[in-house]
Amino acid sequence: MTANRLAGKVALITGAARGQGRAEAVRLAAEGADIIALDNCVTAGTTDYAGPTEEDLAETVKLVEAQDRRILARKADIRDFAALQALVKDGVEEFGRLDVVVANAGICSGNWSWEIPVEQWQETIDVNLTGTFYTMKATIPTLIEQGTGGSIIITSSVAGLRGHPFLAHYAASKHGVVGMAKSMAVELGQYNIRVNTIHPHGVATGMQPGRMGELIVENAATLGPIFMQTLPDPISQPEDIAAVVAFLASDDSHHMTGVQLPVDLGTLLR
């Protein structure tokens, strides 16, 4: 960790109540950033794991404040564009600026592609792709208006770079954010605003789709190897992802834009 690498900067993080979002909020705060945090704090209608809670978001606030940094946290859904706009406005008024946007919020569920319920497909696309677009649309005008550049980091997945069994809807959404990020990187380069995507494999968060695990076990002989990692660790921790986000948020990566950066334990090598 580089002390004060993000001093004087303000970062907005979606999905900040727990898991990667919380770890990213704490890591960026530890490096000097003030935080604007949001999470919808509900369980998604088409997933089979419990969603984050308001108590989780309150814990993120405590952990950021323990780093002696300021935080504005709000219960808000990234599918609500008006709520996103209001939060950005209030955050900039309170902290004076916006420098980093971490579009981390997302959901995941598992199914055979032809058995995905229409409602499950729609919610996955609405949250992971449309919600990420809304996050960009709500924040980019401020970054441009400030005239001081910025860094946008979008959480994709290894499923955003190749096909994954049982994840057609999730993979479609995560491929979608990559295309969006590449287009935005080209457009925003003239403003010194960088846009990159990160691509984790399995991460130890509360987002663990039970049905997908069942399908992997049932089809271990034919499809299980696709999920194998190369490095010894079986799974990444949220802090592992947060460290990469901090790098991309900082000036250490000031010549990187339009990059798809795997943090995947070597899964994509298989």
CATH number at residue 106: 3.40.50.720
Torsion of CA 84, 90, 91, 93, to 10 degrees: 140
Can you give the pLDDT at residue 144? Answer: 98
Do the domain assignments include residue 4?
A: no
First-to-final CA distance of the chain? 30
Both structure tokens of 214: 């069942």
Q: Domain of 72?
A: 10-259
The Cα-based distances of 26 to 39, 45, 133, 137, 161 in angstroms read 15, 28, 24, 25, 28
Q: How far is CA 169 from the centre of its chain?
A: 17
DSSP 68: T
| Residue 160 in tokens | 């955003």
Task: Judge whether 187 lies within some domain.
Answer: yes
The pLDDT, as a whole number, for residue 208 is 85
**Residue 12 and residue 99: Cα distance in Å, rounded?**
8
Tokens representing 65 are 């404040």
**Token duo for residue 84:** 């996103």
pLDDT at 2: 65
Residue 170 falls in the annotated catalytic set:
yes
Is 166 contained in some domain?
yes
* Residue 5 domain-assigned (yes or no): no
Find out whether 89 and 76 touch, Cβ atoms under 8 Å: no
Cα angle vertex 154, ends 13, 223, to 5°? 120
Contact, 230 vs 120, CB < 8 A? no
Neighbours of 19 (CB within 10 A): 21
Q: Would you state the pLDDT for residue 207? A: 87
Could you tell me if residue 18 is inside a domain? Answer: yes
pLDDT single digits (tens) 12-64 = 999 999 999 999 999 999 999 999 999 999 999 999 999 999 999 999 999 99
- Using 70 as the pLDDT threshold, list the residues of the chain that sit under it: 1-2
Rounded Cα distance between 28 and 193, Å, is 18
* pTM flag (> 0.95): yes
Q: How many structural domains comprise the chain?
A: 1
Let me know if residue 270 belongs to a domain. no
Is residue 234, in this structure, part of any structural domain at all? Answer: yes
Any domain includes 266: no
Q: What is the pLDDT of residue 227?
A: 92
Among 91, 78, 92, residue whose Cα is nearest residue 155: 78
